[in-house]
Amino acid sequence: MVDLMIELREEQSQAIAGLPYLSLQLSPDVKVAVQLKFVRETLVLTINRFTQMPNVHPCLIGLVEHRSNVFWVLDLPQLLGFAPIDSTAIETHIAVLQIGGAFIGLGVYRVGRVVRFTEPEIVSPRESPNVRTPIELLPFLRGWVIQSEAVNDNLYVLDAEAIANHNFSV
């Protein structure tokens, strides 16, 4: 009985190795991840919940009021140099980040699942300069995690603080 308990404890410690990240789908074949400690909640909001503002950065979808907080929601795929979210979609999937006292919503195609990996698994962009990434992605990129040997099966790991601190002026 004691041997069985020791084995279970070892399996539990192995199962939770690595930091938790929330995966976000930017398109059918592009996924990114943000550290879970910054994610406050995830939402699916209808387009009428957004208050659009004139003369703002094109990737800013609009302002949202949720739980007595007002925050910007941005089109994350567009910010990172990928195809923007379909503006005719009825609903938008959002990961709400809290960085310090500020909130920001990341609009994406789909909110994925929680994945875990360790810091050494994150490959720096400087270590693999031959991997093609959009130039817009680089200021927000911590690196990527290779999920399989397929050509485009990397999970881009984003710096949530860099996104929140970005200057969105036009």
DSSP string of 47-113, one letter each residue: GGG-B--SSS-TTEEEEEEETTEEEEEEEHHHHTTSPPP-TT-SEEEEEEEEETTEEEEEEESEEEE
pLDDT of residue 169: 79
pLDDT in tens, 9-28: 555 544 567 899 999 999 98
**Six token digits for residue 159:** 């710096």
User: Tell me, which fold does domain 39-164 have in CATH?
Assistant: OB fold (Dihydrolipoamide Acetyltransferase, E2P) (2.40.50)
- Tell me the average pLDDT across 28-32: 91
What is the predicted pLDDT for the residue at 72? 95
What is the CB-side half-sphere exposure of residue 25 using CA atoms within 13 A? Answer: 10
pLDDT of residue 130: 61
Enumerate the β-bridge partners of residue 41: 96
pLDDT in tens, 129-154: 666 778 888 889 998 887 665 555 67
- Report yes or no: 95 and 105 within 8 Å, Cβ to Cβ: yes
Q: How far apart (Å, rounded) are the C-alpha atoms in residues 97 and 99? A: 6
Q: Which two tokens stand for residue 103?
A: 């909130």
Domain locations in the chain as residue ranges: 39-164
| Amino acid, res. 122 | I
